[in-house]
Amino acid sequence: MTDSGNPRELISREALQRRIDELAAEIERDYAGSRDLLCVGVLKGSVFFLSDLLQRLSRPLVVDFFQTSSYRGETTSHGEVRIRRDLDHSLAGRDVLLIEDIVDTGYTMRTIMALMGFRGARSVRLCVLLDKACKRETAVRIHYRGFEVDDVFVVGYGLDYNDRYRNLPYIGVLDESTAGCQGQ
């Protein structure tokens, strides 16, 4: 895959913002009774999504981040998850809302969610902007899902290729050459 072309727009800025309105309304409703909501973003891809989402919530919350190992220019993941930057906050007894850009094979989120449970979170829910459901290799429960996408490599709105394209205000397809999900 090269990164010289212009990404084709897949999800417009307007469609993203409309869907985030809906997700925020759902989250606000579901956490109405929670006193101690910790919103955890996975660096760096979730940052644009997290920012737009959390600005729509009026309830008190705390924001924290962690970072897992990245693709380093490759476009497939291998089921190996490494924590590069850990959280500042303790999870013990807290309701955790994990915010991620995209779930592909599911290995990253499965590992992270298990870790949060192990660290004593009261509840852990997952909010994902994009779901490549047809690529899943391990089951992951997604509580809040923005959009389902096909098996194409997407960039923009936080998602990168070699650390580029994050600032696109829409989701674009960089590489259409990967196998499609149809018929799987």
Can you give the binding site for ligand 5GP, defined by CB under 6 A? 45, 71, 77, 100-108, 132, 153-155, 159-161
142 burial class (0-12, 13-18, 19+ CB within 10 angstroms)? middle
Note if 150 is an active site residue. no
Nearer to ligand 5GP, 79 or 120 (CB): 79
Q: How far apart are CA 172 and CA 29, in angstroms?
A: 31
Candidates 184, 181, 183, 178; CA nearest to 75 is: 178
Options 52, 101, 104, 131, the catalytic residue: 104
Residue nearer to ligand 5GP on the CB measure, 127 or 159: 159
Q: How far is the CB of 33 from ligand 5GP (least distance, A)?
A: 30
Place of tokens 């013990």: 92
CB of 37 to ligand 5GP, least distance (A): 22
The neighbour count for residue 111, using CB atoms within 10 Å, is: 18
Q: Which is nearer to ligand 5GP, 94 or 132 (CB)?
A: 132
Q: List, by residue number, the catalytic residues.
A: 104
